[in-house]
Amino acid sequence: MDVTVADSLRDLVLGASCVGCARPGRVLCARCAATLPRAGRVCWPTPTPPGLALPMAGGDYDGLLKAMVNAHKEHRVLALAAPLGEVLAAVVDDLVGGRPVLLVPVPSRGRVVRGRGHDPMLRVARQAARRLRSRGTRAAVRRLLLPAGRVRDQAGLDAAARAANLAGSLRCRRQAAPSSAPSLPPGALLVVVDDVLTTGSTAREAQRALEAERLAVQGIAAVAATRRRFVR
Percent pLDDT > 90 in the chain is 64
Mean pLDDT, residues 3-8: 50
Look at residue 8 and tell me if it is in a domain: no
Look at residue 166 and tell me if it is in a domain: yes
- pLDDT tops 70 at residue 165: no
Look at residue 93 and tell me if it is in a domain: yes
Our count of domains for the chain comes to 1
| pLDDT bucket at 154, cuts 50 / 70 / 90 | very low
Look at residue 75 and tell me if it is in a domain: yes
- pLDDT tops 90 at residue 67: yes
CATH of the domain at 132: 3.40.50
Look at residue 1 and tell me if it is in a domain: no
Three-class DSSP labels, the chain? CCCCHHHHHHHHHHCCECCCCCCECCCCCHHHHCCCCCCCEECCCCCCCCCCCCEEEEEECCHHHHHHHHHHHHHCCHHHHHHHHHHHHHHHHHHHCCCCEEEEECCCCHHHHHHHCCCHHHHHHHHHHHHHHHCCCCEEECCCEEECCCCCCCCCCCHHHHHHHHCCCEEECHHHCHHHCCCCCCCCEEEEEEEEECCCHHHHHHHHHHHCCCCCEEEEEEEEECCCCCCC
Helices 159-166 and 201-211: crossing angle in degrees, nearest 10, is 30
Look at residue 21 and tell me if it is in a domain: no
**pLDDT at site 177:** 47
In terms of C-beta density within 10 A (0-12 exposed, 13-18 middle, 19 or more buried), how is residue 136 classed? exposed
| pLDDT bucket at 35, cuts 50 / 70 / 90 | very high
pTM for this predicted structure: 0.82
Q: What amino acid occupies position 178? A: P
Look at residue 91 and tell me if it is in a domain: yes
Look at residue 185 and tell me if it is in a domain: yes
Domain, as residue range, for 181: 38-225
For residues 75 and 43, the answer to whether their CB atoms sit within 8 Å is no
In terms of C-beta density within 10 A (0-12 exposed, 13-18 middle, 19 or more buried), how is residue 153 classed? exposed
**pLDDT at site 187:** 81
Mean pLDDT of the chain: 83
